[in-house]
């Protein structure tokens, strides 16, 4: 199995009602992991120059995340949102990690046991793992 990881950053502000209600800025870190059992010619999972623009278009550069999304803009929720947005374009997408800084990232990936059983959770949330 091959994995390819792309790490990008974007500047954005957010506020969290009970934790930090005042808007504040971060240089967010986003890590995209693709996985494939085989390689495309000339021996790659995906061309970096094809992947980078897809990711860059998705990232909310210099935005206030509370007004960009209908959910609390936490690393956990952003990882899930980015994953679900990217998966139709990137079938080899394995995981998306998001953090307010690189030392504390949350990773979202599909819960493959739901797919194997042919079921999915009632709320549409396919699983996730916050690396804390």
Alpha-carbon distance values, 125 to 44, 54, 82, 107 (Å): 31, 23, 13, 13
Mean pLDDT of the chain: 86
For residue 115, what is the enclosing H or E element?
helix 112-117
Q: How sure is the predictor about 30, in pLDDT bands with cuts at 50, 70 and 90?
A: very high
34 vs 53: CA distance, rounded Å:
15
Contact between 69 and 98 under an 8 Å Cβ cutoff? The reply is no
Structure tokens at 119: 């079921």
Q: How sure is the predictor about 112, in pLDDT bands with cuts at 50, 70 and 90?
A: low
Section 39-54 average pLDDT: 94
Percentage of the chain modeled with pLDDT above 90 = 75
Contact between 32 and 91 under an 8 Å Cβ cutoff? The reply is no
Q: Is the pLDDT of residue 51 over 70?
A: yes
Q: How many CA atoms lie within 13 A of 43 on its CB side?
A: 0
Q: What does the DSSP 8-state code read for residue 68?
A: H
90 vs 53: CA distance, rounded Å:
12
Calculate ∠ Cα 25-31-37, nearest 5°: 170
């Amino acid at each position: 199995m091959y994995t390819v990881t792309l790490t990008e950053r974007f500047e954005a502000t957010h506020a969290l009602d009970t934790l930090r209600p005042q808007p504040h800025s971060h240089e967010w870190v986003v890590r995209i992991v693709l996985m494939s059992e085989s390689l495309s010619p000339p021996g790659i999972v995906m061309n970096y120059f094809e992947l980078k623009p897809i990711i860059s278009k998705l990232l909310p550069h210099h935005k206030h995340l509370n007004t960009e999304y209908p959910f609390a803009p936490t690393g956990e929720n952003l990882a899930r949102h980015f994953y679900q947005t990217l998966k139709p374009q990137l079938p080899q997408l394995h995981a998306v990690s998001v953090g307010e800084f690189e030392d504390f990232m949350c990773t979202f990936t599909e819960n493959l046991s739901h797919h194997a059983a042919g079921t999915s959770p009632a709320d549409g949330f396919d699983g996730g793992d916050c690396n804390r």
